[in-house]
Each structure stands twice: as C-alpha cells, then as structure tokens.
Chains A and B, each alone.
Chain A
C-alpha cells in the first residue's frame, strides 16, 4: 500500500521547545517537500529536497530545519526560533527530474504551540 505517512496527526508543544515532524514515503519518489498551511490560506513552501543529501530553502524557511539522509524520509524540525509555529504542516513527494509531475500529499500534522 503505497503512500506518504506523517506522524503524529496532532502535536502539542510548549513555547521554546524544538519539535520534529515525521514524513515517510514508499513511492520511490526522489523529491520531497514541506509546506505550512494557516487557517483559510493556501500552502507555503518551507523546504524541499530533490535528491538524497540535498535540500533547498523554500519561501518561509526561517525557524525550520530539515535533513534528507534517506530517500524515504524527510523530517522537519520546527525550532524555537520560529515565531509563529502553530499551523498545519503538510509533506508531499513527487518524481524528480524535469518532467511535469503531480505531488502526492500526506495527511498532515497539526502543531499547536502554547
């Protein structure tokens, strides 16, 4: 059963703590992405990775960090430097390369920081 999994579905943290969100895919996709969605808004790109051991900043990378040590996994760390971390976080993946490909999304993690 192929797809993308994100865990946990809901996450609660105290202000000042770092937190890591998990994203795993078994679609054999090269590229993976992290987005943030605020209420009533579209998605904004945080980080993306087109190949293992390489990643690039998206539009709102400040306060976030990622790693891509394995093709299947692209964890996102929300650091204490992120000013407004409460949001819905979505992970996606797609085939790499220069073609036009749809992105496959995970179910999301809703992070609440108080």
Chain B
C-alpha cells in the first residue's frame, strides 16, 4: 500500500524559481523523509523530519510537517536545471522498524 500521495504529479518551472511539492499521508508517523530519484537511478535521501518537528532546512531545501493535517511540503528555492528529478516522500510508521512507505512522487522539470 502507498501511504503518501504527492501533489502535483508533475511540475515544470524555470531555473531560479521556487518549487513546492506536497505530500499527504493517512496514519500517524514516527518521521517523514524526502528522497530524490534521477531517471533510472537509485534514490538519494534529502531530509528527515521527526513527528515532533514542524520545519527543517538543509541548504536550498525547506521541509514542513503538519501532523494535524497529515501533510508535509518540500520547498526547493532558486531551482537549477540539475534539480530535475522525481521527488518522493516516505513515512515511517513502523514503531522503530525503519520501514518506509513511499508516495507516488512528483516529477520536477527545471528548464533553462
């Protein structure tokens, strides 16, 4: 089963613009993680936010978590062509087992 649903499914922006992706999930979580996947490659971890945290930053990335709405957002500021990839949220609700449930992903295209 896929717990997370990303919105939008696809996003196309110009270089330098900000990109915002949203993730909604269904059950309570221990933490939520965002991953990036370039076409045909493995996933790369971007950021992890715990259930008791509301916002986290890492470089040009900003993640928010609203557990009351069961949603998270990933903001990429000043996007670059190299940010073109698919982005997935993943929730850990396994009670310490580090078992992740992935969403369906947002395909981001950053054009020059």
Which residues of A line the B interface, CB within 8 A?
Answer: 4, 31, 33, 35, 40-45, 48, 50, 58-59, 88, 90, 92, 94-108, 110
Contact = CB atoms under 8 A, between A and B. Distances in A.
Contacts of A102: 33, 45, 48
Q: Give the top 9 A-B pairs by smallest Cβ distance, nearest first.
A: A98-B96, A105-B42, A102-B45, A42-B102, A43-B102, A100-B31, A105-B43, A42-B104, A107-B42
Contacts of B90: 43
A59 B100 CA distance: 11
B40 A50 contact: no
Interface of B: 1-2, 4, 30-31, 33, 35, 40-45, 48, 50, 88, 90, 92, 96-105
A103 B42 contact: no
Given A4-B42, A106-B42, A110-B40, 15 more contacts: A41-B105, A42-B102, A42-B104, A42-B105, A43-B88, A45-B99, A88-B40, A92-B43, A97-B96, A99-B96, A100-B98, A101-B98, A102-B48, A103-B33, A103-B100
B44 A105 contact: yes
Given A102-B45, A102-B48, A105-B44, A42 B103 contact: yes
Contacts of B45: 102-104
A73 B98 CA distance: 18
Contact of A94 (B2, B35, B98): B98
Given A42-B105, A43-B102, A45-B101, A100 B42 contact: no
